[in-house]
Amino acid sequence: MKGDEKEGKARGTGLLDLLAENENYRKIILGAGLVGIALIFLSGFLTNSGKTQQTAVSPSKTYTAEEYETHLETELTELITKIQGVGSANVMVTLEQTKQSVYAKEEKASGQTTKDQSDGTTRNETDQSNETNYILVKGADGSEQALAVTEIQPVVKGVVVVCDGGGNPVVQQSVIDAVTTALDISSVRVCVIKAK
Burial of 89 (0-12, 13-18, 19+ CB in 10 A): buried
Do residues 170 and 85 lie in contact, with contact meaning Cβ atoms separated by under 8 Å?
A: yes
pTM: 0.47
Split into its structural domains, the chain has a count of 3
Indicate whether 143 and 168 sit together in one domain.
Answer: no
CA-closest candidate to residue 83, choices 164, 159, 156, 160: 164
List, for residues 134-148, the tens digit of each pLDDT value: 777 777 787 877 777
Indicate whether 107 and 91 sit together in one domain.
Answer: no
Indicate whether 140 and 169 sit together in one domain.
Answer: no
**Mean pLDDT in residue range 184-191:** 91
DSSP 3-state assignment of 112?
strand
For 76, the domain range is: 65-99+153-194
Indicate whether 78 and 94 sit together in one domain.
Answer: yes
Q: Please give the backbone phi and psi of residue 100, each rounded to the nearest 5 degrees, phi first.
A: -120, 145
List, for residues 44-53, the tens digit of each pLDDT value: 766 555 444 4
Burial of 175 (0-12, 13-18, 19+ CB in 10 A): buried
Indicate whether 53 and 129 sit together in one domain.
Answer: no
Indicate whether 8 and 93 sit together in one domain.
Answer: no
Indicate whether 50 and 119 sit together in one domain.
Answer: no
Indicate whether 94 and 182 sit together in one domain.
Answer: yes
What is the domain-level CATH number for residue 157? 3.30.300.30
Indicate whether 92 and 119 sit together in one domain.
Answer: no
Rg (CA), the chain: 37
Q: Please give the backbone phi and psi of residue 111, each rounded to the nearest 5 degrees, phi first.
A: -145, 155
CA-angle at 117, arms to 116 and 123, nearest 5°: 55
Indicate whether 84 and 6 sit together in one domain.
Answer: no
* Crossing angle of the two packed helices 2-21 and 23-57, in degrees rounded to 10: 80
CB atoms within 10 A of CB 171: 21
DSSP 3-state assignment of 159?
strand
Give the highest mean pLDDT range of 5-9, 48-52, 62-66: 62-66
Indicate whether 112 and 72 sit together in one domain.
Answer: no
Indicate whether 90 and 168 sit together in one domain.
Answer: yes
